[in-house]
Amino acid sequence: MNAWLDEALTKVAEDATALRTLFPGVGRRVGRGPSDVPGWTVDDVARVELLRAAPGAAAEMPDLYRYGDAAEKRAVLRGLSVVDIGDAGLDLVADALRTNDTRLVTAAMGEYAATHLDDSAYRHGVLKCVFMGIPLAEVAGLDRRTDEELLRMMRSFAAERTAAGRDVPADLLPLLNEQDA
């Protein structure tokens, strides 16, 4: 492991406010390339490790998100699933779902969203992913959160695309066909 990261993990374990100064520098210290975790970068993994190591991370996460760049925001969103932040992360997910940044929307629709979003917000998050071309495989909880209303919304989307002579996302068709069978 990276020596800087080892030291940073020790610092945040002692004082979660150390995240304020360490979190922004992660990319420069550990790199920004792909990691062993599919779809994650090395800095995503390191930042989530820092959040996991900091006992008071939940209190720091809103400001880390608010003042962070896109990579820092993405890591906070990914960290929602490993830090017990309760419903306090819902505002962060809602903010990310208002953006047009596929990286943030994808991270927002992780396991935290699948567990904490109400049905309506979850459905709209899934539909936003479909609109943006984010593969449905990236959406956590789809297997257990798909309901008739979400299927209706996706069928309407597919019908509109077809009527306009546009392609329907390939990963949407098996889900609709499977539910119709």
| 59-117 per-position pLDDT tens digit | 999 999 999 999 999 999 999 999 999 999 999 999 999 999 999 999 999 999 999 99
Distance (Å, rounded) from C-alpha 76 to C-alpha 62? 8
Q: Name the band, by pLDDT with cuts 50, 70 and 90, for residue 179.
A: low
Question: Measured between alpha carbons, how far is 3 from 29 in angstroms, rounded to an integer?
Answer: 9
* Per-residue model confidence (pLDDT) at position 63: 97
Q: Which residue has the higher pLDDT, 20 or 178?
A: 20
> What are the tens digits of pLDDT across the range 36-62?
999 999 999 999 999 999 999 999 999
Q: Are 160 and 152 in contact (CB under 8 A)?
A: no
Decide if pLDDT at 155 tops 60: yes
pLDDT mean over 130-146? 95
Going by C-alpha positions, the residue among 181, 116, 180, 119 that lies closest to residue 150 is 119
Separation between Cα atoms, residue 86 and residue 80, nearest integer Å: 9
| Statement: the pTM of the whole predicted model exceeds 0.75 | yes
Q: How far is CA 106 from CA 9, 11, 20, 36, 160, in A?
A: 26, 30, 24, 18, 24
Q: Among all chains, which residue has been given the structure tokens 């008071």?
A: 56
For residue 92, the model assigns a pLDDT of: 98
Which percentage of the chain shows pLDDT scores above 90?
92
> Which range among 29-33, 72-76, 98-102, 167-171 shows the weakest confidence by mean pLDDT?
167-171
DSSP code at position 167: P
Q: What does the pLDDT read at residue 180?
A: 56
Above pLDDT 70, what percent of the chain? 97
pLDDT average, residue stretch 131-151: 95
Q: Which amino acid is at 101?
A: D
